[in-house]
Amino acid sequence: MIDLRRIRENPQAIMDALSKRGMQNAKELVDEVYTLDLEKRRIQAQLEEVSSRLNSMHKTINHPLHQTATVSIGLDQKEATHHLKEKHKILMGAYKSCESALLEKLYQLPNLPAQEIPIGKNAKDNQIIYQVADLPKVKPGDAAHWDLIKKYDLVDFELGNKITGAGFPLYQGRGARLQRALISFFLDKAVEAGYLEVQPPILVNAASAYATGQLPDKEGQIYHITADDLYLIPTAEVSITNMYRDYIVDLAELPIKCAGYTPCFRREAGSWGADVRGLNRLHQFDKVELVQICHPDHSYRQLEEMLTYVRSLLEQLELPYRVVQLCTGDLGFCAAMTYDIEVYSVAQDRWLEVSSISNFETFQANRLALRYKDKKKKSHLLHTLNGSALALPRIMAALLEFNQNPLGISIPKVLQVYTGFDCIV
């Protein structure tokens, strides 16, 4: 959530920044926020005045000298006090209504894009920061991963569909072993890199979903258990970041670095076309997530560190990849800057996103009430970051397609200690 003070100080700058995202109603929303904030503060001033007068009256009525005053004076005071209490009640109702409307409008505003990122309308305007020099070429007989999965009996989509529905695959045999190997490899590497491993809940309450920006922005796209008002997480970022909701961090703790594996659930996966075939897009998938909380002065340094770390994972897996910096029009709702890492699918001849690494600056911290205190004991918002390290389905798809040969599918050396086999035959 954008810090309200920034809107008060320079609403036009906020409108301009949001317009770079391609937000058509930026001016309208910012104007509404600005007006509601003025109204809220006006009502608040009236509330404070009425409260002050009530306090003075209570002191007067309860003063020992007043107890000897005439009955008529006491009745006048009580009538005036009753009138002020009624006015206070009305003002409090108006204040809460205005505060609720203001918060609703603030929740609709996405984060401001960082000044350094490219301005653009959509993914076509993203900038390629790095790309492997030589892309592998498809060889005669090479197959797409969905055919390899069927050939080697690694994933049963039909059985998953029978048990649950489309987009819920059932991994089996060496497919399940490869999944487990990837999870263990990613977690072990995260711990080596200084991340605290956590295993968080995969269900969160509405307060947690609002705190990290999934609500109300992605309402309808995440699974909602209405009976208990709980949500299935679309990423472990939600659970892990909310570990620090309503938290004041000691500066000595920074940066806080956590990593966690969870299944992830997304309703918007789709159901047709090559883009969603096989493991390309699912309703349920596994992912290891990285979360960092750091001092505002250091967040972009930490973002680059996260990028370097995730790149190292793909290099150890020996997969061809590229790094893309998202333009203003392609940014996620909460992000100020994002790098996407994509692996090259040989058989599909296209790039598949396997990681998104973002700096949210103070956007989530403002919702989370996540702060630190300086030497003068003054509170300041922290910065939050997160990144996939990595999302498993497309990694598996790329591994199968990239490592296929006439005898089977070779397993990268770094995974063999986890799988217990070096080839799927």
Q: Is the per-residue pLDDT at 277 higher than 90?
A: no
Decide if 133 is inside a domain: yes
Q: Is the per-residue pLDDT at 278 higher than 80?
A: yes
Q: Is the per-residue pLDDT at 66 higher than 80?
A: no
Known binding residues for L-serine: 235, 266, 289, 386
Over residues 344-401, the pLDDT tens digits come to 998 888 999 999 999 999 999 999 999 999 888 999 999 999 999 999 999 999 999 9
Please, what sign has the CA dihedral across residues 193, 423, 400, 396? negative
Known binding residues for ATP: 266-268, 353-356
297 CB-near residues (< 8 Å, 6+ apart): none
Question: Of the candidates 347, 418, 354, which has an alpha carbon nearest to the alpha carbon of residue 392?
Answer: 354
Decide if 143 is inside a domain: yes
- If you average pLDDT over residues 1-20, what whole number do you get? 95
* In a shared domain, residues 214 and 263: yes
Domain boundary among 66, 83, 107: 107
Query: How large a percentage of the chain has pLDDT more than 70?
Result: 94
Overall number of domains in the chain: 2
* In a shared domain, residues 30 and 98: yes
Query: Where residue 351 sits, what CATH number does that domain have?
Result: 3.30.930.10
* In a shared domain, residues 135 and 88: no
* SS3 label, residue 351: strand
Please indicate whether residue 253 or residue 83 has the higher confidence score (pLDDT): 253
Tell me what pLDDT residue 141 has: 87
CA atoms within 13 A on the CB side of 126: 19
Known binding residues: 235, 266-268, 289, 353-356, 386
DSSP line for 189-211: HHHHTTPEEE---SEEEHHHHHH
- If you average pLDDT over residues 265-294, what whole number do you get? 84
Tell me what pLDDT residue 271 has: 47
Tell me what pLDDT residue 273 has: 52
Over residues 157-188, the pLDDT tens digits come to 999 999 999 999 999 999 999 999 999 999 99
Tell me what pLDDT residue 75 has: 61
* In a shared domain, residues 353 and 207: yes
Tell me what pLDDT residue 56 has: 83
DSSP line for 54-67: HHHHHHHHHSGGGG
* In a shared domain, residues 229 and 284: yes
Domain boundary among 42, 73, 107: 107
- If you average pLDDT over residues 26-33, what whole number do you get? 96
* In a shared domain, residues 304 and 402: yes
Decide if 276 is inside a domain: yes
Q: Kindly give the residue spans of alpha helices, DSSP state H, lying in 63-139.
A: 71-107
- If you average pLDDT over residues 126-155, what whole number do you get? 94
The residue segments making up the domain with residue 96 are 4-107
Identify whether the C-beta of residue 379 lies closer than 8 Å to the C-beta of residue 362: no
d(CA 143, CA 402): 10
* In a shared domain, residues 199 and 316: yes
Q: Is the per-residue pLDDT at 211 higher than 80?
A: yes
What pLDDT band is residue 272 in, cutting at 50, 70 and 90?
very low
Query: Where residue 82 sits, what CATH number does that domain have?
Result: 1.10.287.40
DSSP code at position 280: S
* In a shared domain, residues 102 and 130: no
Tell me what pLDDT residue 138 has: 86
91 preceded by cis ω (within 30°)? no
d(CA 23, CA 31): 14
Lowest-confidence segment of 5-14, 343-352, 354-363, 404-413 by average pLDDT: 343-352
Decide if 117 is inside a domain: no
Q: What is the mean pLDDT of the chain?
A: 93
Decide if 78 is inside a domain: yes
Question: Other C-beta atoms within 10 Å of 230: how many?
Answer: 18
What pLDDT band is residue 81 in, cutting at 50, 70 and 90?
confident
Decide if 100 is inside a domain: yes
What pLDDT band is residue 61 in, cutting at 50, 70 and 90?
low
11 CB-near residues (< 8 Å, 6+ apart): 30, 31, 33, 34
What pLDDT band is residue 64 in, cutting at 50, 70 and 90?
low
Domain boundary among 107, 135, 158: 107
Decide if 118 is inside a domain: no
Decide if 210 is inside a domain: yes
Lowest-confidence segment of 61-70, 88-97, 118-127 by average pLDDT: 61-70
* In a shared domain, residues 255 and 386: yes
* In a shared domain, residues 88 and 137: no
* In a shared domain, residues 67 and 94: yes
Q: Is the per-residue pLDDT at 265 higher than 70?
A: yes
DSSP line for 378-411: -EEE-EEEEEEEEEHHHHHHHHHHHTEETTEEEP
* In a shared domain, residues 95 and 144: no
Tell me what pLDDT residue 288 has: 98
Q: Is the per-residue pLDDT at 76 higher than 80?
A: no
